[in-house]
Homo-oligomer: A and B are copies of this chain.
């Protein structure tokens, strides 16, 4: 089911190896014995899997698809065993999605990039390039750039003077980086722009003037940044992204924004200047945050929320302007009642 033009499998893999890898317990709907020496050739989603494929059921929405699936084996929670087709080998575990992720990584191990600097890349003589670095064609590496061991820079990406990348960080094609210091194992997808000067203007006697933006962007280890995302550098303070934070595509991050560790930011969120986001927070898609506010640690913001005030740690908010999630649901119900009355009056 996986397209061999794009991915290279090390399969087949035996059930025994899958069990060793994931800790799953093999059984069937009828509790029959299972041949753990049997080999499976691939992974596949439930609706496309065949007898030689391993699949998984995580989201209850897909339980009907599970019941009719032709998958040879399937990671599944104990409570769904009764719904399984008779012939399916069940790999029972507490977290089927995690187990499937492990299985996938086993079938398709990440291949290290081939190191080497393309002859069509343009690398300034003063740049410090680590070992096992890959730089693709058309990339432009500026003065005093430091690329740690094992980094890779995609085709036609532009790395400005003085930028630093820690070891094993990977920048996709067509990115621009400037005024930025990046940690280790950071993944920057394609088309990301980091370090440009932000939207900083001051009123002056002769109209608005541009305020020089003298800060940087500081990106900690293990951060991932999605395609098309823009991160402006600080105006004076730095713009900072904390360890292991994951940012989806087309997100806007203004100057001086400080984002904590282990934050998840879904696509198309916009975070205005000088706002702080605590550790472990989660932002749904298209959320907008005003400038100069503070989002407490582990807060959750529903998709499309518009937040103009500080949010307490651990709280869940939704709506625009955002309110506690219970109030948001109450708004929806209250509104529904109001208009039902109206509809009956019409």
Contacts and interface: CB of A to CB of B under 8 A. Distances in A.
A214 B7 CA distance: 7
A37 interface: no
Contact of A199 (B203, B212, B248): B248
Interface residues of A, number: 110
Interface in A271-308: 272, 285-286, 288, 290, 292, 303-304, 306, 308
A285 B304 contact: no
Interface string A132-156: 0000111010001000000000111
Given A6-B179, A158-B174, A288-B286, A209 B98 contact: yes
A226 B193 CA distance: 10
Listed residue (A5, A7, A162, A224) with the most chain B CB atoms within 10 angstroms of its CB: A5
Q: How many copies does the complex hold?
A: 3
A339 interface: yes
A216 B266 contact: no
Interface string A149-184: 000001110100110100000001110101100000
B320 A342 contact: no
B98 A203 contact: yes
B320 A339 contact: no
A335 to B, nearest CB: 6
A33 interface: no
Contacts of A331: 335, 338-339
A77 to B, nearest CB: 14
Interface of A: 1-3, 5-7, 43-45, 47-48, 59, 61, 95, 97-98, 100-101, 104-105, 108, 110, 118, 120, 122, 136-138, 140, 144, 154-156, 158, 161-162, 164, 172-174, 176, 178-179, 189-191, 193, 196-197, 199, 201-204, 207-212, 214-216, 224, 226-228, 230, 232, 236-237, 244, 246, 248-250, 252, 254, 262, 264, 266-268, 270, 272, 285-286, 288, 290, 292, 303-304, 306, 308, 320-321, 323, 326-327, 330-336, 338-339, 342-343
Given A173-B176, A176-B191, 15 more contacts: A2-B215, A5-B161, A98-B202, A101-B202, A138-B156, A191-B191, A196-B226, A199-B248, A199-B249, A208-B244, A208-B246, A230-B267, A330-B343, A334-B342, A338-B338
